[in-house]
Every structure is written in C-alpha cells, then in structure tokens.
Amino acid sequence: MRNIILIIFLSLCFNIQAQKKELRKIDKLVTESFFKEANSELQNFKSLILSSEDKYKAQFYFYDAKVSNELDEYENAINSLNELNKLNPTSNLPSKLQIDYSNLSLIIANDIVNAAIKDNQEENYLEGAKKLIMAYEMDKEEYIDYLYFAAGSAVNGRDYDLSLKYYLKLKNMNYTGIVDEYYVTNVESGVEEKVANQTEYELLKNSNDYTNPRIGQTQSRFPEIVKNIALIYLQQDKIDLAKEAIREAREVQPNDVTLLLNEADLFIRLSNAAKNDEEMLIYRSKFKESMKIAIEIEPENGILYYNLGVISSRENEVDDAENYYLKAISYKPDYTDAYLNLYNIYKGKDEAITQQMDKLGFSKEDTKKYDEFKKLRQIEWKKVLPIFENWYEIDSKNIDCLKILSGINNVIGNDEISKNYQAKIYDLESN
C-alpha cells in the first residue's frame, strides 16, 4: 500500500515538474516571438496541462489566447480568453503575467478590428463583418460600434439578410453612436483644433495657449440605420415592410432626399403593379409629391427634375416633361438621358407634322400646305437646335449627340454641317 502511495506521489511530482518545465519553455518561445513553435508546444501538452491544477490551466489558456491571436486564429484566441476568465486569473496567474493579462482582451479586440479593416480594404466584406461581430461579442456594451460597422460591411458584401439582422438589432437597442468631441482654439493661429480625448481636453482648456474650449457631439447614426432598413426591404422587394420602414425612417429624417427618392421609387413599383388605372394614377401622383418635396430640399438637383420628366412623359404631359428635362440639363449639363428624352419629345412633335404632310396630295393647294409644314418643321427645329449644340460643346464625342445634330441640320437645310457631323460619327465608330 505504502509503495502504491509513493508511486502516485512520485508520479504527481513528475507531472507537476513536467508541466512547469513545459510552461517555462512556452513562455520563452512566446517572449522570443516564436509563436508557431509555441503553438505546437501548447497543442502537444494540452491534455497534460489541462488535467492539472487551475494555476497551470490558467497559464495554458493565457499563452494559448496570446499565441492564437498572434497567429490570426481569433476564434481560438477568444475561446481561450473566455476559459481563462473562468479560472480567477488574478489569483491563478503569476504576477509577471498579470499586466499582460489586463491588456490581453483589448489587444485581441483591436487586432480583430484591424484585421476586419484590412478585409474591407481588400473588398472581403463578409469576412470583415464576421470579424467585427467577433469583436462585438467580446464586450457587447463596450464594443457596440462594431455591430454597426459589421452591418455596413454586410451591405457592401451584398448579404442583405445579414445586414438587416444587425440593423434591426441596433434599431431595437435605440443605438445612436453619439460620442462627445472636444475642441479648443489655438491662441496663436486662431484656428479651432479637435482634441483627441477628454484627458487632453482638460489639460489644454486651462492652458494659456488655448481658448474657447467646447464640447460637441457626433451626429446620431440612428437615422441612417432606419433608412438602411427601409432600403434593404426595398432591395428585397418586401413592399409592405418597405412601406412601413420608409414611413418610420421619414419620421426620423423628413428631409433626407435619398429616402424621398426611394419612397418615389416604391410608388413607381406600386403603380406598375397596380390592379387598375385608378390605382396606378394614385401611386403616380404620390410619386410626384415625393419628388416635389425632394426638389424643395435640393432645388438644383438635376436628377430630381429628370425623374419628374420621365413620369410626366408616361402620363402624356408633354409640356411638363419638356420643362422638367430642360431644368435637368440646366443643373446637370452633361445629362445624356435628359437630352435623349428631350429629343424624343421634339421628334414626337415633328412626327405629328410629317404625318399631316404625308396625307397631302399633289394639288396646288396641297403643295402650298406642304411647303408651309416644311417651313414650320424648320422653325421648330431651329428653336431647339441650340440645346443640342450646347450638349456637343460639353460632350463632343457622344455619338447620339452627333446623330441628333446631323439630323436636325439636315431638316433645316444645313447640308454641309449635317455632313460634317456624319463624318465625325464615322471617325468615332471607325476607331
């Protein structure tokens, strides 16, 4: 019996010594930054150390978390850190590891976020989102901003279900992301400077070198979140949810033009899917209302006028459409689609004249009417010619523009000018 007890005792002593020796070896490898070698040692002796006392387990998990983080094995780093935290590390870790332990969680979180930033820079958006969520889950209160950034990464990665999940979570938490910002004015330069943090601010505001200390705040992210929820529902063709989300978003951001445009887009979709003409006209009217509100907010936004021109054209409100397209190019002189739609309006008016000309016979009276119509065509095209000449000044290599100018000049009798435009078209198409 005594021999058995002695054997057990000796075995335990041997194991303890082996564990100590191994941990010292691992510590040396980590200190010298041989992380791959340290990781190999950790895995080889994992079962031995983890069957031992808490103080040895704590050291194992400390080194495993540190090494895994250095090797970019972040999930394992977090898991080992969580296991370490269960073992009362302030008591079970040696004093020389205490300082490193106190910073370990922050180091791991920062490294994960930096890796996520790199992923996003390299357009690996979903991988970046995954890492940001890992960091967020390390401390959901302290790192809640990472949930917000993860949602944005998921949008960029076109995983709208994932981004919606994160945005809805943020919305339900009433997350704003608002933080204080600190400013002081440099006495010598007179320039207001942003201060890095509150500690520095407290020092500088009492300095003779700075004056006018003030505390501001960043803009709330909540309006953006509710807007993105609405846009995602719209992207997913979840019309009823999109309508409600846009309504909620507009309550928060009544003057957001992007929201108004998407609301208008929603009305167009609904008008196209309308069951009858009455329903279609209601939604088109709502579209116009949204666009006009947007124009009140951004009166020099050419795209807004263009959109109104398109819907007016669909409703055969030709004069309104023409005016909207003219407004569009006045604020956006290179707006190709607006020029093309304008030309189609003028072409439609011209076709109405040519149709009457085609009905005429060869009598003296009909010949006179024909010449009158011909002259009318020339007058009408001369009126609008400067519009397309201005387009040419802006975009001289636009083939559509050149074709239009060639055609107009042909109608009004400028044959040589028409041929010159044809030659330019030929050169561009040949090259």
- More reliable by pLDDT, 11 or 349: 349
Each residue's pLDDT tens digit, 137-190:
999 999 999 999 999 999 999 999 999 999 999 999 989 898 889 999 998 898
C-alpha distance from residue 427 to each of 272, 334, 342, 401, 415 (Å): 42, 22, 26, 14, 19
Among 140, 136, 133, smallest CA distance to 119 is for 133
Residue 11: predicted pLDDT: 41
* pTM for this model (two decimals): 0.66
What are φ and ψ of residue 184, in 5° steps? -140, 155
Q: What is the mean pLDDT of residues 385-405?
A: 95
Distance from C-alpha of 236 to C-alpha of 244, rounded to nearest angstrom:
14
C-alpha distance from residue 414 to each of 348, 378, 402, 404, 405 (Å): 22, 10, 14, 13, 10
Q: Is it the case that residue 13 has pLDDT exceeding 50?
A: no
Each residue's pLDDT tens digit, 294-306:
999 999 999 999 9
Domain boundaries, the chain: 16-93, 180-217, 350-430
Q: Is it the case that residue 9 has pLDDT exceeding 60?
A: no
| Straight-line distance from the first to the last Cα atom of the chain, in angstroms, rounded to the nearest whole number | 101
Q: Is it the case that residue 6 has pLDDT exceeding 80?
A: no
Distance from C-alpha of 146 to C-alpha of 134, rounded to nearest angstrom:
9
Among 167, 310, 146, smallest CA distance to 235 is for 167
Q: What is the mean pLDDT of residues 353-364?
A: 92
Q: Is it the case that residue 34 has pLDDT exceeding 80?
A: yes
Each residue's pLDDT tens digit, 59-97:
889 999 999 999 999 999 999 999 999 998 888 888 888
